[in-house]
Structure 1
Amino acid sequence: MEKFKGALVVGFLRLFALLPWRAVQAVGAAIGWLMWKLPNGSRRIASINLSKCFPELDGAAHDRLLRRTLMDTGRTITESACAWIWPAHKSIGLIRQVEGLEILQAALASGKGVVVVATHLGNWEILNHYFCSLCKPVIFYRPPKLKAVDELLQKQRVQMGNRVAASTKEGILSVIKEVRKGGVVGIPADPEPSRSSGVFVPFCATQALTSKFVPGMLAGGKAVGVFANAIRLEDGSGFKAIFEAAPEAMYSSEAETSAAAMSQVVEKYVRAYPSQYMWTMKRFKKRPEGESRWY
């Protein structure tokens, strides 16, 4: 049954990848519109997250943002299908604008290990190809449940000569070793960690359990941190890649100080492009002591 499900999912991904880019966007938006119109788990989770993170919104504003969010989520799904199937250079061609490239270049020339911090904002799959065209990093990722999809992603994500490391004990060690020897790694900042691996810090009007992984690698200036995002352009023609240097506080030896600084940068981009964040993920499953569960 798992093989059948995997083959079915991969088949749908290949179908999306056959469409012209404007159709990819239109189909994704239509999927998102249906997610907004029809009762489903993704709509429920996104609505809860938005109500907690943007409590200042009234009912009408909340619903408008929820609608835009789910339509952008649909676009991310179909766009990512293309990034997983297309040759990497075709995805890279969708990067129409670049801001802060000199920041990444300076980090790469520093002689230290470089930790590029990504988030589930815009389209991280397109970003991955572009980033890997600039250097040869190790990309840290959480494997999907379906083996066929995992095998596809492992193959597609290394087209530029980079490597991938799954979020296992072995993968974590390989990423740490890469940074220590002066290499480059790409790590998502926002998947929720275990309680022992994270600290609660402020994020969009709430507290979010945030990983100590990146702070631990940057502590004391052992490595250089750079944020990276690929933001969807309003005209739908492609994306703008943005690189930003990690703030000084992220190099603190105190994990909570560093994690809070990292969360502040993530929040800045989320507030700037709120509908492009993946609010459909259960980002806030674990809550501070005494606070009830959201989901």
Structure 2
Amino acid sequence: MERLKGALVVGSLRLFARLPWRVVQRLGATLGWLMWKLPNGSRTVASINLSKCFPELDAAAHQRLLRRSLMDIGRTLTESACAWIWPAQRSLDLVREVEGLEVLQAALASGKGVVGITSHLGNWEVLNHFYCAQCQPIIFYRPPKLKAVDELLRQQRVQLGNRVAASTKEGILSVIKEVRKGGAVGIPADPEPSLSSGFFVPFCATQALTSKFVPGMLKGGKALGVFLHALRLDDGSGYKVILEAAPEGMYSEDPQTAVAAMSGVIEKYVRAYPSQYMWSMKRFKKRPEGEKRWY
């Protein structure tokens, strides 16, 4: 049964990726509008997250942001389906603007290991191709449940000569070894870790359990961190990739200070592009002691 499900999903993705780009975007926006209009788990989670992270919004502003967010999530889903199937160059052609590329180039030329840091903001599948076109990193990821989909992603995400590492003990070790020998890796910094693997730090008017994995690799300047995000342009024509050097605080010997500094950068981008964050993700499942669960 799992094999059949996987084949159906992969086949659907291949058919979907044959559609014109504007149709892909319209279908994604429609999917998101339906998520906003009809009762469903994604709308519930997104609404809770937005109410906690932007408590200053009144009811009308909250609904406007919820609607925009779900429509952008729909676009991200359909656009990512294309990035999973298309040749990498076709996705790269959608990158219309790049800001801060010199930051990555300087980090790569330093001789130190480079940690590319991103989050679930914008389109991380297009970002993957962009980053891998600049160097040949190991991309750290959480495998999907369906084996056929995982195999597809492993194949598509290494089109440019890079490697991938699943979020297993072996994958973590391979990422650490790559950085120590002066190589490059790419890691999403916002998946919620276990309680022992992170700290609760400020994030958009709340506290978010945030991983100490990335700051741990940068500690004391052992490696260099570069933030990368691919943000959707307002006219829908493609993306703007923004790169920024990790702040000094992320190199702190104090791990909680470093994690808070990392969270601060992610918050800055989320506040600048609030509708492009994956608010339907249960990012805040674990809460500080004494606080009620959100979901």
TM over 0.5, shorter chain: yes
* Match in the other structure for 2:206: 206
Determine helix, strand or coil for the equivalent of 1:81: helix
Indicate the residue corresponding to 1:192 in structure 2: 192
Q: 2:61 and 2:15 mapped to 1: Cα distance?
A: 35
Q: Secondary structure at the match of 2:110?
A: coil
* 1:170 aligns to 2:174 (yes or no): no
In the alignment, what sits opposite 1:281?
Answer: 281
User: Residue in 1 aligned with 2:216?
Assistant: 216
Aligned to 1:34: 34
Does 2:235 match 1:235? Answer: yes
Q: How does 1:93-132 map to 2 (within 5 A)?
A: 93-132=93-132
Q: 1:6 matched to which residue of 2?
A: 6
CA displacement at 1:235 relative to structure 2: 0.2
Counterpart position of 1:133:
133
Deviations 1:112-167 (A, max 9, x none): 00001011000000000011011000000000111111000000000000000000
Q: Which digits, 9 at most, give the CA deviation of each residue in 1:208-251, with x for residues without a partner?
A: 00000001000000000000000000000000000000000000
Please list the CA deviations of residues 181-226 of structure 1 after superposition, one character each: whole Å capped at 9, or x if unmatched: 0000000010000001010000000000000000100000000000
CA–CA separation in structure 2 for the residues paired with 1:15 and 1:272: 34
Q: Give the Cα separation in 2 of the matches to 1:47 and 1:13.
A: 28
The amino acid that maps onto 2:253 is: S
Percent identity for Structure 1 against Structure 2: 80
Aligned-pair Cα RMSD in Å: 0.5
In the TM superposition, residue 253 of structure 1 has moved relative to its aligned partner by 1.4
CA distance in structure 2 between the aligned counterparts of 1:294 and 1:5, rounded to whole angstroms: 32
What is the distance in 2 between the residues matched to 1:39 and 1:286?
24
Q: Which residue of 1 aligns with 2:160?
A: 160
The AA in structure 2 aligned to 1:222 is K
For 1:145, give the aligned amino acid. Answer: K
Shift in Å at residue 15 of structure 1? 2.0
Alignment match, 2:87: 87
CA distance in 2, matches of 1:56, 1:2: 45
Q: Distance in 2 between matches of 1:272 and 1:12?
A: 34
Matched position secondary structure for 1:289: coil
The separation in 1 between residues aligned to 2:202 and 2:70, in whole angstroms, is 24
| SS of structure 1 residue aligned to 2:160 | coil
Task: Tell me how far 1:286 sits from its aligned partner.
Answer: 0.3
Give the AA of the match of 2:13. L
Per the normalisation by structure 2, the TM-score is: 0.99
1:6 Cα deviation from its structure 2 partner: 1.2
* Aligned equivalents of 1:10, 1:37: Cα separation in 2: 28
Query: What secondary structure does 1:288 align onto?
Result: coil
Show the counterpart of 1:294. 294
- State the distance in 1 between where 2:22 and 2:39 align: 27
Residue 53 (1) aligns with residue 53 (2): yes
Residue 229 of structure 1 aligns to a residue whose secondary structure is strand
* Structure 1 residue 290, shift from structure 2 partner: 0.4
For the residue of structure 2 that corresponds to 1:207, the secondary structure is strand
Does 1:260 find its partner at 2:260? yes
Output the amino acid matched with 1:68.
R
Cα distance in 2, alignment partners of residues 171 and 126 from structure 1 = 22
Q: Secondary structure at the match of 1:242?
A: strand
Cα deviation for residue 2 of structure 1 reads: 1.1
User: Unaligned regions of 5+ residues in structure 2, if any?
Assistant: none
1:13 CA displacement: 1.2
Q: CA–CA distance in 1 between the matches of 2:44 and 2:13?
A: 25
Structure 1 residue 44 corresponds to structure 2 residue 44: yes
Instruction: Note the alpha carbon deviations across 1:244-291, whole angstroms, 9 max, x for none.
Output: 000000000111000000000000000000000000000000000000
